[in-house]
Amino acid sequence: GENVEQHPSTLSVQEGDSAVIKCTYSDSASNYFPWYKQELGKRPQLIIDIRSNVGEKKDQRIAVTLNKTAKHFSLHITETQPEDSAVYFCAASIPEGAGNQFYFGTGTSLTVIP
Amino acid sequence: DTEVTQTPKHLVMGMTNKKSLKCEQHMGHRAMYWYKQKAKKPPELMFVYSYEKLSINESVPSRFSPECPNSSLLNLHLHALQPEDSALYLCASSQAQGAGGLETQYFGPGTRLLVL
């Protein structure tokens, strides 16, 4: 099955700096890569996603890049703010049968220091 | 409306109890998922229903029994749970399988379960 690795597990940045989180996947059948932000006690919330036919996508301060050849994708947050502090999960999705199988990374705990 | 709702928000049960978790979405999504999440860990997939049929069962113990009464509802029946089953149980839904935006998955707020 798919194996998604995520690094780093913890990340501290000063407010205003950039944060980068990296994920790798193993199965070339994965074709959809969402990123979720989970605040303490809350649900995972989709913040950005990318499909395998696209190399980069940006939404305001958040961007995701995908390198299909190397099987890795990254989340970039610019001009970080304290409210960006949360756990971030990457995932890779494979169409499987009649549903989608989502494989999650182990998470990155991001702390933005004011 | 991109909302998935779950009830109850919190549940405490003994090891001999029977309880049910409920999940509902009215977005017309045809794939629904149950996940289990322990603190500071990623969600672990338990079950996937697609078009009201169970399509994926990730070797979950039989003390967890899913049910999909219709395309908007998903239940998880719990019986004879163990303390290690204490976790956040998340429901999610997506429009369908495949590409083009259909697979985007939305999570409910979860049910925090404590088994004594």
Q: Is the pLDDT of residue B99 over 50?
A: no
Q: What is the mean pLDDT of chain B?
A: 90
- Interchain contact B53–A (C-beta under 8 A): yes
Say which range, A1-15, B6-20, B87-101, has the weakest mean pLDDT.
B87-101
Average pLDDT over residues B76-84: 95
- Please tell me which of the candidates A96, A98, A107 has its beta carbon nearest to residue B51: A98
3-state secondary structure B29-84: CCEEEEEEECCCCCCEEEEEEECCEEEEECCCCCCEEEEEEECCEEEEEEECCCHH
What's residue B42's pLDDT?
95
Angle value at C-alpha A43, between A80 and B50, nearest 5 degrees: 125
Q: How does strand A32-38 pair with strand A45-51?
A: antiparallel
Contact criterion met (CB < 8 Å) for B104 and A49: yes
Lowest mean pLDDT: which of A2-16, A50-64, A66-80, B94-108?
B94-108
Q: Per-residue pLDDT tens for A44-102?
A: 999 999 988 889 999 999 999 999 999 999 999 999 999 999 999 999 998 776 567 88
- Judged by CB atoms closer than 8 Å, whether chains meet at A46 and B105 is answered as yes
